[in-house]
Structure 1
Amino acid sequence: MVEEFSSDDIKKKIDVILKEPEIRFCGLIDPDGELVAGGFDSSIVPMLNDKQRRQMYQELAHRVANRQGFDADLGRVKYSASRRENAVMLSFPFGKYIVLVMANPGINIDRFAWEILNKLGRQWSEYDSL
């Protein structure tokens, strides 16, 4: 599992992901639910205020931590997705961190998730067999 990473490297990867036209947000969330790197595409007006976003990051960190209790039996989570009326949210465990991506609602979630995994790099190479 990836625990160490170069902050410059992940910031570059987040910047690349943010250039995709479907992307609204891409960020690295720490185990406490704090945004470590990333943010919104410069043309996007956030749907949630700062307090709501912080709550969302904290709840995401909590859910990801809780899911790890099932890893021994079900295997590790590759990504998790939620399709809402106004946005799609995808989370990708990254060691003790989470890469959170928010996209426009019309995307094909599986295809899009694999594109994001490829942009994130070789840390996820064990998932190529799916």
Structure 2
Amino acid sequence: MSDPEFPIEDIKNKIKDILLEPEIRFCGLIDRNGELILGDVKSGLILLENDSRRRQMFQELAHRVANREGFDANLGRVKYSSSRREKVVMMSFPIGRYIILVVAEPHVNIDRLGWKIIDKLGKQWSEFQGF
């Protein structure tokens, strides 16, 4: 499942950096099949969903991201998308065949956090065209 052209080690370090943000609960790299490639939960936190439900959530996310690509030609590529729920904010950052999923505390300013994460992901993130 590894891709020699995709900077997995670099992304692993960026995920660690994103998890340093106080409002972040989880950050992970998901492939287009909805498989978690790597990721972590903030130390001391308990996830709100069990493994089976998380896998289902990752697969649904991958499906939604793939569906949005049909609008890229006219509207431009998605930088990130988010949903505010009662207990968490979920954000996805698509790149090629992968997605960074961030789960944050419900009180965050979504736009401020989104641009902060894009900044942490770096220039390559906004320019990476994928495959």
For 2:58 and 2:26, how far apart are their aligned partners in 1? 12
Aligned to 2:32: 31
Aligned to 1:68: 69
For 1:75 and 1:58, how far apart are their aligned partners in 2? 23
Aligned to 2:104: 103
CA displacement at 1:124 relative to structure 2: 3.4
Alignment root-mean-square deviation, CA: 1.3
- Residue identity over aligned pairs, in percent, reads 65
Q: Number of residues paired by the alignment?
A: 124
For 2:13 and 2:114, how far apart are their aligned partners in 1? 18
Q: Specify whether residues 120 and 57 from structure 1 end up closer, same or farther in structure 2 by C-alpha distance, changes over 3 A only.
A: same
Aligned to 1:49: 50
Aligned to 1:119: 120
For 1:125 and 1:96, how far apart are their aligned partners in 2? 14
For 1:75 and 1:63, how far apart are their aligned partners in 2? 16
CA displacement at 1:54 relative to structure 2: 0.2
For 1:90 and 1:113, how far apart are their aligned partners in 2? 8
For 1:125 and 1:71, how far apart are their aligned partners in 2? 14
CA displacement at 1:5 relative to structure 2: 2.4
TM-score (norm 2): 0.90
Aligned to 2:83: 82
Structure 1 residue identity aligned to 2:85: R
Structure 2 residue identity aligned to 1:120: L
Structure 2 residue identity aligned to 1:55: Q
CA displacement at 1:125 relative to structure 2: 4.3
TM-score (norm 1): 0.91
Structure 1 residue identity aligned to 2:11: I
Contact 2:26-2:42 within 8 A present in 1 as well: yes
Q: Specify whether residues 125 and 94 from structure 1 end up closer, same or farther in structure 2 by C-alpha distance, changes over 3 A only.
A: closer
Higher normalized contact order (CA 8 Å, seq sep 6+, divided by chain length): 1
For 2:20 and 2:57, how far apart are their aligned partners in 1? 23
Q: Specify every segment of 5 or more residues in structure 1 that has no aligned partner in the other structure, as ranges.
A: none
